[in-house]
Amino acid sequence: MRKMLREGDLRLDHFVGYINRAEIPQEIITPDGRVLKGKQIFLSVEKGGLGEDFFEPSWIIRVDQKKNKNDENMFDLFKRVAQEEGLNPESCYVLEDFGPLGETKAYKEFRSKLAKNFISQCVPIGIGIGEDIDKIHVDNSSNPRKVSNKHNIALLTGNHDLPPIRQYIDLLLDNKPIIFKNGKNSPAIFKDFCKEQLKLTDEDLKDRNLVAREFMKWCYTRNVKQVQTTLQDALGLYFRPNIPGFSNGMEDKYLMKTSPEALLPFWSRVFPKNFLNRTDKSGINPGYKDLAEDYINLMNELFSNEK
Indicate the pLDDT class of residue 186, thresholds 50, 70 and 90. confident
* 127 and 231 co-located in one domain: yes
Note whether residue 266 is domain-resident.
no
Domains of the chain: total: 2
Give the pLDDT confidence of 176-185 residue by residue, as tens digits.
766 654 555 5
Q: Are 129 and 33 found together in one domain?
A: no
Read off the pLDDT of residues 251-281 as tens digits, 9 standing for 90 and up. Answer: 444 444 444 444 444 556 677 788 889 888 7
Is residue 112 domain-resident?
A: no
Query: Are residues 49 and 11 part of one domain?
Result: yes
Residue ending a domain, among 240, 257, 289, is 240
Question: Is residue 70 scored above 60 in pLDDT?
Answer: yes
| 133 within domain boundaries | yes
The boundaries of the domain holding residue 128 are: 123-240
Residue 258, domain member (yes or no): no
Over the stretch 25-46, which tens digit does the pLDDT of each residue have?
A: 999 999 899 999 999 999 999 9
**Among candidates 185, 170, 184, 160, which has minimal Cα distance to 252?**
170
pLDDT 10s digits, 93-151? 998 765 555 678 888 888 888 888 888 888 877 655 544 445 444 333 333 333 343 46
The pLDDT value recorded for residue 275 is 86
Mean pLDDT for all residues in the chain: 79
Q: List strand residue ranges (DSSP E) for 32-185, in order.
A: 35-37, 60-62, 93-95, 119-122, 153-156
Residue 20 sits in the same domain as residue 83? yes
The reply to whether 305 falls in a domain is: no
Residue where a domain terminates, one of 81, 97, 113: 97
The predicted structure's pLDDT at residue 226: 87
Mean pLDDT of 65-80: 94
Same-domain check for residues 88 and 129 = no
Same domain, 147 and 89: no
| Shared domain check, 128 and 183 | yes
- Asked whether residue 10 is assigned to any structural domain, the reply reads yes
Q: Dihedral angle at the C-alpha atoms of 194, 174, 271, 220, nearest 10 degrees?
A: 10
Amino acid 16: pLDDT: 85
Three-state SS at 152: coil
Query: Within a domain: residue 175?
Result: yes
Same domain, 93 and 128: no
The number of CA neighbours under 13 Å toward the Cβ of 201 is 2
Residue 292 maps to a domain = no
Domain-ending residue, one of 189, 216, 240: 240
Q: Give the span between the Cα atoms of 18 and 22, in whole angstroms.
A: 11
Return d(Cα 103, Cα 150) in angstroms, integer. Answer: 22
For 27, the enclosing helix (H) or strand (E) is: strand 27-29
